[in-house]
Structure 1
């Protein structure tokens, strides 16, 4: 499992990429990826292209990120998820809280 964070060229969007399993073992790395950046980005993009699995702790981490980003007014997109990950997000009704692409 690896978590990588990159700012967009304009510095307005932070992309966090998760490779492998997204579970409690990713907690600190995921949190560091968005809490230790300055200035705070206007938007967040979570790239799940290489994410093979996520569990309830990963869902909780996504909710913590959403709160950190500004709650209902936040722009947090979950992108490039495979069919298994999309299914978990759909069952959890995350499509009502996040933009899922």
Structure 2
């Protein structure tokens, strides 16, 4: 599976791991990973992501809106150097905690 989710034992944190290309083909699976969950904290793990495009940026914005917008606690972790550059150019470093 290319979008893998894990909820922490206390139910407070959702981790979404992306494997392979993070593009429009993952839209449905990505949305379903968080859609019916109460979100206190979300971690998007891009360790195994090989590619990220503009539709992935849109999916991250939809996740942010679902999680509470400015009040959301979303971290994007394990980004490659190239992905960090894309996120920085898009000013996503102002919207998400990126590491």
Give the structure-1-normalised TM-score.
Answer: 0.94
Structure 1 stretches of 4+ moved >6 Å: none
Secondary structure at the residue paired with 2:47?
coil
Q: How many residues align?
A: 99
Secondary structure at the residue paired with 1:48?
strand
Q: Which moves more between the two structures, 59-68 or 82-91?
A: 82-91
Gaps of 5+ in 1: none
Residue 33 (structure 2) aligns with? 33
Residue 12 (structure 2) aligns with? 12
Deviation per residue, 1:22-80 (Å, 9 max, x gap): 0000000000000133xx12000000000111000000000000000000000000000
CA RMSD between the two structures: 1.0
Secondary structure at the residue paired with 1:50?
strand
Matches within 5 A, 1:27-66: 27-37=27-37, 40-66=38-64
Residues in 2 aligned to 1:36 and 1:69: alpha-carbon distance in whole angstroms: 11
Residues in 1 aligned to 2:36 and 2:47: alpha-carbon distance in whole angstroms: 23
Give the structure-2-normalised TM-score.
Answer: 0.96
Residues in 1 aligned to 2:23 and 2:79: alpha-carbon distance in whole angstroms: 15
Secondary structure at the residue paired with 2:16?
strand
